[in-house]
Structure 1
Amino acid sequence: MAPQTARRTALEIAVQDLAGYRVAAGAGAARTELCVALAATGGLTPSAGLLAALVAERDARSARGAHATGIHVLVRPRPGSFVYDAAEVDVQVRDVRAAVAAGADGVVVGVLTRDGRVDTGALSALVEAAAGREVTFHRAVDAVDDPAPVLDALAAAGVTRVLSSGGAARSIDGVRRLAAMVEHARGAVQVMAGGGVRPVDIGALVAAGVDAVHLSASRPVAGDGGPGGGGAAGHTVTDPDVVAEAVAALARA
């Protein structure tokens, strides 16, 4: 009987700029989720120029033999609910196609019906637009009462993974539900823990059996944009020290 290979839990960092990608790639993260307005909205679709900059960086790293962290693009046209009308779905399909054409390794989407089920028609269109790239279903799953039917629908649609906090504000508080999701999915869909993840939480999340952990590893940057720029809200950037702590915690786990 051949010895079993130890399961490795992947690290994904949510980034909002080229500097963040460089931090994540330098630390050896498996993937990045590229988005914008993360702290203010939970993340929105990034610009074409930003994606192009990251793709160029990834390809340059690959050409010189360095670790080339994957780029997965969040496709979310607005804040708020994950229930979209036909026009909003059409925009997302166009954004997925554009991301794939620009060289993204995958896309991150989430579409629900008003009664809390997966919008299978919209999801099918998004998966088709991804043209074989990996598709992650984001934390729209945390807006439903029972994730089991969602997992079944995602597996049937060919979705690679689901990002979830286990329905809690912070993943560590939803760890039991995350473990139940892993058990239900049985590998048909990868379960990635995300939502308020701190390096100190990673050991418990890995013990729950998740396939990956996802965190922004961010720190706030003050900056008053005035009345036309969001006031004094500032923004967040990737913190290299937090990423390093997450890498170390994952290695210990």
Structure 2
Amino acid sequence: MIEVIATCVDDAIAIEKYGGQRVELSSALSEMGITSSYALIKNVLDKVKIPVHVLIRPHSKSFIYSDNDMQVMKEDIEIAKKLGANGIVIGTLDEHNRIDEEKLKELLAFADDMDVTFHRAIDSTESCVESVRTLLKYPKIKRIVTAGGKGKVTDNLDVIRKMVGVANNKITIMLGGGLNKENLQLAIERTGTCEVHFGSGVRENYHYTGNISRELMQEVIEEWRKSNICIS
């Protein structure tokens, strides 16, 4: 599975056209993403047929949320659900950088049967491996996108492999953070997972302001298909 971040309608159209299999829709990629507007969500869903998962993040200050933040997030989940999004991408931490399970449960209660991903907030926790154990308590969570901690995926390959082992196919571990055509095969083979998440790695000039690149998308898909554990 190759998931690519879209920040506008044209991104989403290009991702689908060039072979991406799922869109994560968010805005302000430079801030690690915040929730997109109602109109953007609606128009993306109108334009593409591949699954669209909407990031639910009210601001970029942290992953610690007040009661007011939580109300906004719940309403954003309801909007995404009403508009027909396939899934949501969420993450909640407490002041000790542990997963805030109470707030997580509140958000999951609004998700109904939507596909739920826990985002890279996990990379800010003290132990990504232990955080996987925590998230295993919540069967609504289908996957975790992670770089295995601070830095890029390639900085934390051994940690991610441990995360994959702990997840034991009950939650999918999706690689995300610094992936590109040059390191994709290594990352897949060293970690044992082939769900991958791209942001700048498939954009022109490898920059978050660049358009989705047909050439980079094709090269990434080719590298992904070369892996022994990924089936196209």
Whether TM exceeds 0.5 here: the answer is yes
3-state SS, counterpart of residue 204 of structure 2: strand
**How many residues in Structure 1 have an aligned counterpart in Structure 2?**
223
1:205 and 2:187 are equivalent in the alignment: yes
Distance 2:206 2:192 in 1: 34
Structure 2 contact 19–217 (Cα < 8 Å) conserved: no
- The code of the aligned residue for 1:179 comes to R
- Equivalent residue runs for 1:1-253 within 5 Å: 10-38=1-29, 40-58=30-48, 68-158=49-139, 159-207=141-189, 208-216=191-199, 217-219=202-204, 235-253=209-227
3-state SS, counterpart of residue 241 of structure 1: helix
1:104-126 CA-partner distances (Å, limit 9, x unpaired): 00000110011122111111121
Distance 1:169 1:178 in 2: 12
- The code of the aligned residue for 1:218 comes to R
Query: Structure 2 length as normaliser, TM-score?
Result: 0.91
Distance 1:119 1:197 in 2: 28
3-state SS, counterpart of residue 235 of structure 1: coil
How far off its partner does 1:220 sit?
6.0
Q: Which runs of 5+ in 2 are unaligned?
A: 228-232
1:150-170 CA-partner distances (Å, limit 9, x unpaired): 212222122111010111321
How well do the aligned residues superpose, as a CA RMSD in angstroms?
1.8
The equivalent residue for 1:3 is none
3-state SS, counterpart of residue 2 of structure 2: strand
- The code of the aligned residue for 1:31 comes to R
Structure 2 contact 9–40 (Cα < 8 Å) conserved: yes
- The code of the aligned residue for 1:247 comes to I
Q: Which runs of 5+ in 1 are unaligned?
A: 1-9, 59-67, 223-233
Query: Structure 1 length as normaliser, TM-score?
Result: 0.83
Structure 2 contact 26–33 (Cα < 8 Å) conserved: yes
Structure 1 runs of 4+ with >4 Å offset = none
